[in-house]
């Protein structure tokens, strides 16, 4: 093929053409500071608040519970640092395969505030037994925060969010979920979920980089992570990114409107890829679960004859972009903490293939052809 094939959509996604259009329009027409009281400022403020209403409607909540941020990492940090530092939390329950934006934040703030951090034990596919959580909740009592990601970013494992949320509610614990990989892919109704906080990042669903959001059930519990002006109802200082917010909202609107169609396409691509691998004669194992898994993500382990980043580099040379794990943990040959957890003694190479509604079946066929040529 003459064009490159991008199969790293869990790391970041290309902008949807309609997102580019709306961002250009806002950049040209609504350039005022949303905090200014003149007409240009009021027009920009109107864009921000209309976007807030739309995003709130997508996840079935009120606009006052949506805080705009710079990314998912900031959203996770803002909530976790506020709750752990509130003196109301004595125990935090999480897992060792959370994204670094959560896991490193927990380690820092739990140590700083003398809060006990308990990590559950997922299985080899990243699945967490709810009985394990309930056992820990019985021991820890009401002053507990549980934080578990909805869709595991390297394996694609999907947590049954409502079941976990309800068990937390039963024991009086707060429940936060990093939903960055599931926003726009999975249906999220925070009212039905009865969850305390979720997070989103625009560049994961074909929006721009540099903008995200935090849903928080009780906004009064949030302490500013960034100090400055009184933007975002005094909860985040700094001029709002009007252009980015508009782009994120349009991207999420498109994702929700086309959700069923996109999921069906992703499932077709994923099934075709797996079927092709099984017929190829390549030695491989599937790290991702076959059920309770995102249609977007597939993590494959290739045997010990595949060393280091050799496969990633050769795929890149062949015009195919994939990942060895989380983009936030890249830049090193060392396996990510997630892959080290599920395969502590392995000598091979795990590769994450993450798909998009933009990918085609021809691209899957060509990727399988290249893999067969490299590995057979």
Domain architecture of the chain: domains with CATH: 5-14+260-375 (3.90.1150.10), 17-257 (3.40.640.10)
User: Whole-angstrom Cα distance, residue 298 to residue 352?
Assistant: 6
Active site residue 51: no
> Can you give the pLDDT at residue 293?
95
What is the C-alpha R_g of the chain?
21
Percent of the chain with pLDDT over 90: 83
Q: Which of 71, 110, 293, 328 is catalytic?
A: 328
Banded pLDDT at 334 (limits 50, 70, 90) = low
User: Whole-angstrom Cα distance, residue 224 to residue 265?
Assistant: 40
Banded pLDDT at 197 (limits 50, 70, 90) = very high
Beta-ladder partners of 93: 118, 146
pTM for the model stands at: 0.94
Three-state DSSP class for residue 301: strand
Element (H, E) at 64: none
> Can you give the pLDDT at residue 148?
98
**CA distances in angstroms from 285 to 274, 282, 346, 348, listed in the order given:** 11, 10, 12, 11
Banded pLDDT at 308 (limits 50, 70, 90) = low
Cβ burial, residue 291 (10 Å; 0-12/13-18/19+): exposed
Q: Which residues, 6+ apart, have CB-to-CB distance to 311 below 8 Å?
A: 302, 349, 351, 374, 375
SS3 helix, strand, coil % of the chain, rounded to 5? 45, 15, 40
């Amino acid at each position: 093929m003459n064009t490159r094939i991008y199969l790293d959509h869990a790391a970041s996604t290309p902008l949807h053409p309609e997102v580019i259009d709306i961002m250009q329009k806002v950049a040209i027409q609504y350039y005022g500071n949303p905090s200014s009281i003149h007409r240009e400022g009021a027009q920009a403020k109107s864009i921000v608040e209309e976007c807030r209403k739309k995003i709130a409607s997508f996840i079935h909540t009120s606009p006052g519970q949506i805080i705009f941020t710079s990314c998912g990492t900031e959203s996770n940090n803002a909530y976790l640092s506020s709750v752990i530092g509130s003196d109301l939390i004595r125990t935090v329950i999480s897992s060792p395969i959370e994204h670094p934006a959560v896991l490193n934040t927990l380690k820092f703030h739990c140590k700083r505030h003398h809060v006990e951090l308990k990590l559950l034990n997922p299985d080899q596919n990243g699945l967490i037994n709810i009985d394990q959580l309930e056992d820990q909740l019985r021991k820890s009592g009401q002053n507990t925060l549980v934080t578990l990601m909805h869709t595991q970013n390297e394996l694609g494992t999907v947590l049954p969010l409502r079941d976990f949320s309800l068990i937390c509610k039963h024991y009086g614990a707060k429940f936060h979920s990093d939903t960055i990989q599931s926003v726009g892919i999975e249906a999220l109704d925070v009212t039905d979920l009865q969850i305390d906080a979720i997070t989103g990042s625009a560049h994961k669903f074909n929006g721009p980089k540099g903008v995200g959001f935090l849903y928080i059930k009780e906004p009064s519990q949030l302490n500013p992570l960034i100090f400055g002006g009184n933007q975002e109802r005094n909860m985040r200082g700094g001029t709002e990114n009007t252009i980015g917010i508009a782009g994120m909202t349009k991207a999420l609107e498109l994702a929700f409107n086309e959700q069923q169609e996109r999921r069906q396409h992703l499932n077709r691509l994923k099934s075709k890829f797996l079927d092709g691998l099984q017929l190829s004669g390549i030695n491989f194992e599937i790290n991702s679960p076959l059920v309770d898994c995102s249609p977007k993500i597939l993590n494959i382990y290739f045997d010990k004859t595949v060393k280091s980043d050799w496969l990633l580099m050769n795929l890149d040379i062949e015009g195919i972009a994939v990942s060895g794990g989380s983009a936030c943990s890249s830049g090193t040959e060392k396996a990510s903490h997630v892959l080290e957890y599920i395969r502590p003694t392995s000598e091979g190479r795990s590769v994450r293939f993450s798909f998009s509604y933009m990918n085609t079946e021809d691209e899957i066929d060509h990727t399988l052809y290249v893999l067969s040529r490299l590995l057979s």
